Chains A and B, each alone.
Chain A
Amino acid sequence: MVNLTAMTDILNDSQDSPEQGGKGAISAGRASMVPPFSPVLLGGLLLAPIPNVVLRPLLRAVMASVTKQHPGMFERLDSHADTIFLIDPVDLPIRFLLKADAEQPKLTIAREADVSRATAAIHGSLLALIDLLEGRVDGDALFFSRRLLIEGDTEAVVALRNAVDGEEIDIIDDILVRAGPLARPARRAAKVALRLARRAGADMAMLQDALLQPAMERIETQTAAVDHLHQSMARSGSSRRRRASKTPAVQG
């Protein structure tokens, strides 16, 4: 029996609020994104015991494949070659660091200690991150899609989104097949699985909403009551900064 609260606790830490515009600090733990209730989340828990030593050569192969298929991408990221991106699929137990240096692009597994080195971060469900990679996230919607949380050097994240959008990356064809983790015959099955995962994810999200609906309604009522209290307090005796109105002593 899946315990939603327990999973959320494991995957959430407390967050810092970002600092001065555009280059805020990256949260030490997961940012306050609740991973969507989806097959990836359930599948991810099964992945947890897989050792990094298995994953590392996989990541190198992925990078080699991407660099070969899409050399223009890193050229586009030239102005942000020093950025260290934290790619954080919130419904998987691993996170990645990406350094988009055109000479030597690197994709590695992020350990706890590495997170503070990141200067930009993208948090989101795996499916949301795949959407980003494959150019299905609107440039204007990047910041507020609610499926993705952007932190740190926002300009670098925009650059990354524009760079991958310009490349027509297909995660299964370009990466999983060419880099080796999937044999070509498995390609079609993988595509179908991805489609199913999306649909199932949508269904599970609906189920989750239905289960939580009564609680949400109670919260909404309470929030409205609190807001009302705030407004009453604000109206009585607030010190709103007002400019002294200027009445000229003489005309002109």
Chain B
Amino acid sequence: MTNRKAAKSTTSLALGPTLFHWDAERWRDFYFRIADEADIETVYLGEVVCAKRRPFILPHIAAVHERLKKAGKDVVLSTLALIMTAEEMDEIKQTTVDADLTFEANDISTASLLAGRRHVIGPFVNAYNGGTINYLAKRGAYRISLPAELSLDTLEALGQTKAVKDVSLEVQVFGRLPLAISARCYHARAHDLHKDGCQFVCGNDPDGLTIETLDDEPFLAINGTQTLSDTYCSLLAELPALKAAGIDSFRLWPHSCDMVQVAALFRSALDDAMAVEEAEARLDEIIGDVPLANGYLHGQEGRLWVEAAAE
């Protein structure tokens, strides 16, 4: 007998940190527009993929942070997913020293630094079960952004674990899904370069670079040291089921399409103000000819698109 948690009356839409290497001004202007126009509760900000990119956005973070806060958004500063050197660790230590700011830990080391303070556990930390979530929650995590490969069954089971009722659970519902992180830079490799002399070629591909098989099938996408799905996740049809399972925060990954419109669409769908068919049609108009997938949530291969069965 599923003891379904009553759906919260407020559900939070969140904009994940921009995973791609956008030009600094473009990055800044994107967030200014989000502050002014987007109907979302939470904005994650910061470099998650590659430490080499951080200097570019650093000059603009304070201004963006302020504009978002003035617009009433919750701002969470995201941190690196893979931290390998003492230098990278030192930088994170310096960044997170400000106790007035809220941070997202994408590596267990950062979570350890933030213990005792209110923080978010990002989707790059493995939180697959109640045991782990309870442990992290006891150390100050108020929200867990869950890894992409969890099925609805797992999410429902998570929603029933004791301490979890006090913790916000977040699921990725739009955008290319991050699948892997590496020390090796695939963008550099694709251009016959090494990570140390990369010339920031990842900046050429604002949504990631599509990778195909030898049979010309689109397969994955690369973004520097990160590998993502080629397909865009879209869980418009599954939002009611997610809410019923106890998920209260919904993450949109930023892409170069009109994210203000995407956010508005997901908002309408979350508020049950738009039928799924219409929402999906409108999404197609916004993002263009992009393959969609929702397989993970249905317990299947992540790349699949599963038609919503009649409930």
Which residues of the partner chain A approach B34 to less than 8 Å between Cβ atoms?
252
Which residues of the partner chain B approach A246 to less than 8 Å between Cβ atoms?
207, 256-257, 287-288, 290
Which residues of the partner chain A approach B254 to less than 8 Å between Cβ atoms?
252
- How many chain A residues sit at the interface, stated as a range, is 10 to 19
Q: Which of B25-33, B50-58, B107-115, B128-136 contacts A (4 or more CB under 8 A)?
A: B25-33
Q: Which of A107-115, A184-192, A237-245 contacts B (4 or more CB under 8 A)?
A: A237-245
The reply to whether B216 and A240 contact each other, CB–CB distance below 8 Å, is yes
Is the C-beta of B258 less than 8 angstroms from some C-beta in chain A? yes
Docked complex Cα distance between A94 and B144 (Å): 61
Is the C-beta of B289 less than 8 angstroms from some C-beta in chain A? yes
Is the C-beta of A251 less than 8 angstroms from some C-beta in chain B? yes
Identify the closest chain A residue to B256 (Cβ). A248
Is the C-beta of A54 less than 8 angstroms from some C-beta in chain B? no
Q: Could you tell me which residues of chain B, from 197 to 256, have a CB within 8 Å of some CB in chain A?
A: 207, 210, 216, 218, 254, 256
Among A240, A244, A250, A252: residue with most chain B CB under 10 A = A252
Pick the contact of B288: A240, A244, A250, A252 (CB < 8 A).
Answer: A244
Docked complex Cα distance between A240 and B210 (Å): 14
Is the C-beta of B259 less than 8 angstroms from some C-beta in chain A? yes
Q: Could you tell me which residues of chain A, from 212 to 252, have a CB within 8 Å of some CB in chain B?
A: 240-241, 243-244, 246, 248-252
The reply to whether A244 and B33 contact each other, CB–CB distance below 8 Å, is no
Pick the contact of B33: A240, A243, A249, A252 (CB < 8 A).
Answer: A252
Which residues of the partner chain B approach A252 to less than 8 Å between Cβ atoms?
29-31, 33-34, 254, 258-260
The 8 A-B pairs with the shortest beta carbon distances in the complex, nearest first, are A252-B30, A252-B33, A244-B289, A248-B256, A246-B288, A251-B29, A252-B259, A250-B258
Mark B residues whose CB is within 8 Å of A. Answer: 26, 29-31, 33-34, 207, 210, 216, 218, 254, 256-260, 287-290
Closest CB in chain A relative to B13 CB, distance in Å: 15
New contact pairs (7) apart from A250-B33, A252-B34, CB-CB < 8 Å: A243-B210, A244-B289, A246-B207, A251-B29, A251-B30, A252-B29, A252-B258
24 of the cross-chain contacts (CB-CB < 8 Å) are A240-B216, A241-B216, A241-B218, A243-B218, A243-B289, A243-B290, A244-B288, A244-B289, A246-B207, A246-B256, A246-B257, A246-B287, A246-B290, A248-B256, A248-B257, A250-B33, A251-B26, A251-B29, A251-B30, A252-B29, A252-B30, A252-B33, A252-B34, A252-B260
Docked complex Cα distance between A241 and B219 (Å): 13
Docked complex Cα distance between A250 and B30 (Å): 10
Closest CB in chain A relative to B194 CB, distance in Å: 28
Tell me the total A-B contact number using a CB cutoff of 8 A: 34
Docked complex Cα distance between A244 and B260 (Å): 21
Docked complex Cα distance between A250 and B210 (Å): 23
Closest CB in chain A relative to B27 CB, distance in Å: 10
Among A240, A244, A250: residue with most chain B CB under 10 A = A250
Docked complex Cα distance between A248 and B207 (Å): 12
Identify the closest chain B residue to A238 (Cβ). B216
Identify the closest chain B residue to A248 (Cβ). B256
Which residues of the partner chain B approach A250 to less than 8 Å between Cβ atoms?
33, 258
Closest CB in chain B relative to A240 CB, distance in Å: 6
Identify the closest chain A residue to B25 (Cβ). A251
Among B26, B210, B258: residue with most chain A CB under 10 A = B258
Identify the closest chain B residue to A252 (Cβ). B30
Docked complex Cα distance between A244 and B259 (Å): 18
Closest CB in chain B relative to A29 CB, distance in Å: 28
Which residues of the partner chain A approach B290 to less than 8 Å between Cβ atoms?
243, 246
Which residues of the partner chain A approach B288 to less than 8 Å between Cβ atoms?
244, 246
Closest CB in chain B relative to A22 CB, distance in Å: 13
Among A240, A243, A244: residue with most chain B CB under 10 A = A243
Closest CB in chain A relative to B33 CB, distance in Å: 5
Docked complex Cα distance between A248 and B31 (Å): 15
Docked complex Cα distance between A243 and B31 (Å): 27
Closest CB in chain A relative to B142 CB, distance in Å: 28
Which residues of the partner chain B approach A241 to less than 8 Å between Cβ atoms?
216, 218
Identify the closest chain A residue to B27 (Cβ). A252
Docked complex Cα distance between A250 and B207 (Å): 15
Closest CB in chain B relative to A247 CB, distance in Å: 8
Docked complex Cα distance between A229 and B103 (Å): 58
Which residues of the partner chain A approach B30 to less than 8 Å between Cβ atoms?
251-252
Docked complex Cα distance between A212 and B42 (Å): 71
Which residues of the partner chain B approach A243 to less than 8 Å between Cβ atoms?
210, 218, 289-290
Closest CB in chain B relative to A138 CB, distance in Å: 25
Among A241, A244, A248, A250: residue with most chain B CB under 10 A = A248
Which residues of the partner chain A approach B258 to less than 8 Å between Cβ atoms?
248-250, 252
Docked complex Cα distance between A120 and B56 (Å): 56
The reply to whether A251 and B257 contact each other, CB–CB distance below 8 Å, is no
Closest CB in chain A relative to B190 CB, distance in Å: 17
Docked complex Cα distance between A249 and B210 (Å): 22
Docked complex Cα distance between A252 and B64 (Å): 14
Which residues of the partner chain A approach B29 to less than 8 Å between Cβ atoms?
251-252
Docked complex Cα distance between A133 and B216 (Å): 39
Identify the closest chain A residue to B34 (Cβ). A252
Docked complex Cα distance between A249 and B261 (Å): 12
Which residues of the partner chain A approach B26 to less than 8 Å between Cβ atoms?
251
